[in-house]
Structures are given as C-alpha cells and as structure tokens.
C-alpha cells in the first residue's frame, strides 16, 4: 500500500484547497491512500519558543506522519502572488531542528497543487514552493501540474466537484504522482 500525506495550506472552513484535498483522498488509485492532515494548531515559529520549550506537540505529530509516509502532497492557496504565510510557517516548524530535515523531507517525493478563485490558478504560489522544497532536499515531482482556476465554479457548496473535467484531471494527476512515489520507493529499496 502506498501511503501519501496531504496537507492544505488554508485554515478556512470553506477553503477551496481543503475541498481539493478531500476530493483527492477519494480519487486515489488502487492500493494507495491519501491521509488528510492539517496545519491547524501549529503556532507561529519563534526560535525562543523552540529553544525554551522545544518543538510543539502538534508539529512533532505531523513530522512523524510525514517521515513515515511514502510521499507528500501540498495543496496550496495563493496569497499576494506567493505562498500563504500560515503554510510556510508550518513547513518552517516541520524543518526544526535542522537535523530532522533529512528524516522528514530528504528525498521524499513531494507534489504541489492548488485552487484559486482567480484566473491563473496558483501558478505563482506553486513556483514559490520550488526553492523551499529544494532547500529541504525533497524530491519534487514535476511530471504534472494542477492549478484549479475560478474555483468558485469548480466546487459545489458541500465541497464536492461541480466540474467533472477538473475531477478527471485530479484523478490523472494522482495516478501520475502515485506511480512516481512507487518508483522512488522501489529505487530506494534496490540494492
């Protein structure tokens, strides 16, 4: 069984990105699962808090599930043409202490998708993640892109898909990413 962890970069209850992630969990290929995780409960990064109190419990929990997963799917909104601060903050915490970066992110297959009410999807936010993922030594999957634009017309009120074309694009994206994750896992275990 291939296990992926998915994280939405939005805290909003009616987030298009959280809806995209929930739909992705239901569209996974056979013998694969996508576990939906949250950044809710992660405080603002403060080096003094880290030095005096250690890593917050929620951060430690999320680090552990990412570390043992086969791959990571980041579902990113785009705020002011870049990465949402709350999402980047979570990744900053997850990379602490820096000795844990290799265990949590090193060579981990990572993919990035996103949804936006605007006409360009989340292209700038997705591009802004590239140097972050490179710094973390993650294995970014560049085999596909999914940028959902005009998201208000893509989702129903309950967060399910209103647009079957986007649903099919997401299904194909997940098939491609899962195949990539499986190949990476097989290569890592080869002698």
Calculate mean pLDDT across residues 42-63. Answer: 97
Per the structure block, which two tokens stand in for 178?
Answer: 């899962």
Which pLDDT score, from 0 to 100, does residue 30 have? 97
Which pLDDT score, from 0 to 100, does residue 191 have? 73
Which pLDDT score, from 0 to 100, does residue 20 have? 98
The 10s digit of each residue's pLDDT in 11-43 is 999 999 999 999 999 999 999 999 999 999 999
Closest CA to 94 of 126, 58, 127, 125: 58
pTM above the 0.75 mark?
yes
Please give the CATH superfamily to which domain 2-186 belongs.
Flavodoxin domain (3.40.50.360)
- Residue-range domain boundaries for the chain: 2-186
pLDDT at 189 over 80: no
The 10s digit of each residue's pLDDT in 129-187 is 999 999 999 999 999 999 999 999 999 999 999 999 999 999 999 999 999 999 998 88
């Amino acid at each position: 069984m291939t296990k992926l962890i998915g994280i939405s970069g939005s805290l909003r209850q009616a987030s298009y990105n959280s809806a995209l992630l929930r739909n992705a969990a239901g569209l996974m290929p056979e013998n694969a699962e996508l576990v939906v995780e949250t950044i809710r409960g992660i405080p603002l990064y403060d080096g003094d808090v880290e030095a005096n109190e250690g890593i917050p419990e929620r951060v430690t929990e999320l680090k552990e599930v990412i570390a043992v997963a086969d791959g990571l799917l980041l579902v990113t909104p785009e705020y002011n043409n870049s990465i949402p601060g709350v999402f980047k903050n979570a990744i900053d915490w997850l990379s602490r202490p820096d000795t844990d970066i290799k265990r949590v992110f090193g060579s981990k297959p990572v993919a990035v998708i996103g949804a936006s009410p605007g006409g360009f999807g989340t292209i700038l936010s997705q591009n802004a993640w590239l140097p972050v993922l490179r710094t973390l030594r993650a294995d970014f999957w560049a085999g596909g892109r999914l940028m959902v634009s005009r998201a208000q017309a893509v989702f129903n009120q309950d967060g399910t898909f209103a647009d079957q074309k986007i649903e099919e694009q997401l299904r194909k994206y997940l098939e491609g990413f899962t195949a990539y994750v499986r190949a990476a896992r097989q290569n890592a275990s080869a002698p």
